[in-house]
Amino acid sequence: MVIKADQRHLYVQVIEHIKQDIEAGRFKENEKFPSEFELARTLGVSRATLREALRVLEEEKVIVRKHGVGTFLKPRPLFSSGIEELSSVSTMIRNAGMKPGTIFMEVSEAPAGDECSEKFGCKTDDSIVTIKRVRTADGEPVVYCIDQVRAGNLRADSTELMKTSLFDALEQDGKIHISQAIAHIEPVGYDQEASSILRCGVDVPLLVLLQKHYTETGEMVLLSKNYFRADKFSFHVVRKRV
């Protein structure tokens, strides 16, 4: 279909047309686009106009261009969550209509030491439990979780942790209620351990969510480092004028 000129810039019309084709299913996720020459000829525009449209679509993370390989439609994230919403990974997966699970787990316990004692506000010889899990959605690995808690706050054993969220495990006896968290998001192109565990290659970036979880009284009870597959998860924030 040839683009017909109107009052808008031609590259803007090309962007709109490509997006319409995506919505109509003419392009599939991870499918390679036609060559620039072919696509420009089909749309009836110059290659310079097409390249400008593709540049914008790449900035909008609609497509990904791989040098020497081609242009591909990026898959849409399965899970989208407001970063201001404090919820467990299990809840995020359930909200997407999928079944959460765990396929890998390692639990270790060691003295807090100087670093952890400062973060948790405990003694250096207090025990800290480190829990490493891979969370799945309908059996597919999507998040690699490294969580640390004070041993005295965790009642659940390894078997229970395979079946429940860490939030529920910490709050099950009613003495702890996680009310807020301070979160930092860091993009990671590739992490040897996490990328391997999540079965994604160097072309699949990761989002690392670092969180300190606090009770209503200000006690930090959970320190989390979660690696999310960026092709599966997206986070957003609602900003309001004050």
Q: What is the CATH number of the domain that holds 37?
A: 1.10.10.10
Around Cβ 77, how many Cβ atoms within 10 Å?
A: 18
Closest CA to 112 of 87, 129, 91, 136: 129
pLDDT one-digit tens code per residue, 94-134: 888 888 888 878 889 999 999 899 989 899 999 999 999 89
Instruction: Assign residue 117 the CATH number of its domain.
Output: 3.40.1410.10
With contact defined as beta carbons under 8 Å apart, do 208 and 190 qualify? no
- Percent of the chain having pLDDT more than 90? 31
Give the domain extent around 45.
Answer: 10-73
Mean confidence (pLDDT) of the chain? 85
Residues 6+ apart with CB under 8 A from 117: 123, 124, 126
Predicted confidence (pLDDT) per residue in 29-85, tens digit: 878 899 999 999 999 999 999 999 999 998 887 888 888 888 988 877 666 665 656
Give the SS3 label for residue 157.
coil
Q: Which residue has the tokens 């078997």?
A: 159
Please report which confidence band the pLDDT of residue 157 belongs to, taking 50, 70 and 90 as the band edges: confident
Give pLDDT, residue 81: 64
| 218 in the same domain as 143 | yes
Supply 68's token pair: 């020497």
